Amino acid sequence: MALMQSRTAHSEQLRAASLRVTQPRLAVLDTVTENPHADTETVYRIVRESLPVVSRQAVYDVLAALTTAGLLRRIQPSGTVARYETRVGDNHHHVVCRSCGVIADVDCAVGEAPCLDASQAHGFSIDEAEVVYWGICPGCSAPQSSRPRS
């Protein structure tokens, strides 16, 4: 039922964005909703479990369309592949584990977006501050005994 609910909500989201409601788009929205920070390949794999006809290119197209429409947010920490999440519009950042790559959300430490002291912006008009914290997650810093194999 949670699925049915989200499906209805997602259809409305698509219509509100003047996007046609298609199975691939609903499946991608469902997948990213249930798997925040999933990368394209993961989305592709999961979508195909329920909708085996979808092509990888369709997933790329859908992710791009939904991101442009503001339904998804695309994040891509340095040297990593693109990932997507449904939390849009708020000013939150991310913490990434150098070891396993897991990502967690972090609310902005400063407050209002874009959280910059604009005093020395070199004349740029800044509209977004993208912050990535790098570190080691609790799982990876735990003693090896409790978490073998890297």
Partner DNA sequence: CTTTTTGCAAATGATTTGCATTAAC
Partner DNA sequence: GTTAATGCAAATCATTTGCAAAAAG
Site string for DNA, 73-92 (x = CB under 7 A): ---x----xx----------
- Binders in 100-139 for DNA, by CB under 7 A: none
> HSE on the CB side for 143, CA within 13 Å?
2
Residue among 109, 145, 146, 148 that touches a second copy (CB under 8 A)? 109
Q: Note whether 56 binds DNA by CB under 7 A.
A: yes
The answer to whether residue 23 forms part of the interface with a second copy (CB under 8 A) is no
Residues 76, 67 contacting (CB under 8 angstroms): no
DSSP calls for 2-64: HHHHHHHHHHHHHHHTT----HHHHHHHHHHHHSTTEEHHHHHHHHHHH-TT--HHHHHHHHH
88's contact among a second copy, DNA, none, with CB below 5 to 8 A by partner kind, is none
Q: Does 13 bind DNA (CB under 7 A)?
A: no
The tokens 């912050």 sit on which residue?
A: 131
Report the interface residues with a second copy, using CB under 8 A. Answer: 74-79, 82, 95, 97, 104, 106-107, 109-110, 114-117, 120-138, 141
